[in-house]
Amino acid sequence: MQTPAAGGRSLYFAYGSNLLSQRMTARVPSARGLCVASADGFRLCFGKPGRDGSGKATLVASTGSRAWGVVYTIDPEHWARLDTCKPGYQRVDVRVTCASREQLAAETYLAPETAADPVPFAWYKRCLIEGAREHGLPATYIEELEQLPERPDPGPVSRAASRAVARRP
C-alpha cells in the first residue's frame, strides 16, 4: 500500500461533486487527477444534509458494495482550503484500488451522521455525473448515478452553479 504521492504530494479520494475537475481545481488549484479508483465496502448516498436542506454526497459502509471516484494529488498545504469547503464532514483515511489494481492510501471526507431523506439538487447531482464521465468511471456506475433522485433548486446561487456545469463541453 502506497502512502505519499510522488513529490511530497498528498492523495485525496473524491467521489462527490469534486469528481468534476473544474470544481476541484477551483477549490484546490494544485489538484491533479492520478487515477480512477474504488473504495470497496462503501456505497454512495446523499445522506449528508446540506445547509441548504439538500442532500450532499457521502460514503457509508456497505458490505459487498463499491463506490467509485478519482484520486487527486494535492499539495499538502492545500488541505486547509479543502477542509473549509467540507463543513460537517470528517477527513478520514481510506484504502482505494485504482483501475490498474494498485492499492493506495488516501484521505477523503465522510459525514459522521446521515439522514434518510435528503435529496440533492439537480445541479449537484449533475456535477457527479459529469465528473464521472470526464474521468471514465464505469458506465454501469454512471447509470446508477443517473437513476438517483434529484430536485430542482430555486435559489440563485445554485442556479448559477447549474449554469456553470451546463457550460462544460
CA atoms of 136 and 163, how far apart (whole Å): 23
**CATH number of the domain residue 97 falls in:** 3.10.490.10
Q: Is residue 158 part of a domain?
A: yes
What pTM did the predictor assign? Answer: 0.88
Q: Is residue 47 part of a domain?
A: yes
pLDDT band at 158 (very low <50, low <70, confident <90, very high): low
Q: Is residue 34 part of a domain?
A: yes
Residue 160 pLDDT > 80: no
E strands present in 26-168: 32-49, 55-74, 90-98, 103-110
153-163: b (≥16 Cβ within 10 Å) or e? beeeebeebbe
What percentage of the chain exceeds 70 in pLDDT?
88
Are 16 and 132 spatial neighbours (Cβ–Cβ below 8 Å)?
A: no
Number of domains in the chain: 1
Q: What is the pLDDT at residue 168? A: 45
Host domain of residue 99? 6-166
pLDDT band at 117 (very low <50, low <70, confident <90, very high): confident
Q: Is residue 21 part of a domain?
A: yes
Q: Is residue 122 part of a domain?
A: yes
Q: Is residue 1 part of a domain?
A: no
pLDDT band at 169 (very low <50, low <70, confident <90, very high): very low
Distances (CA, A) of 18 to 7, 108, 132, 140: 22, 11, 10, 20
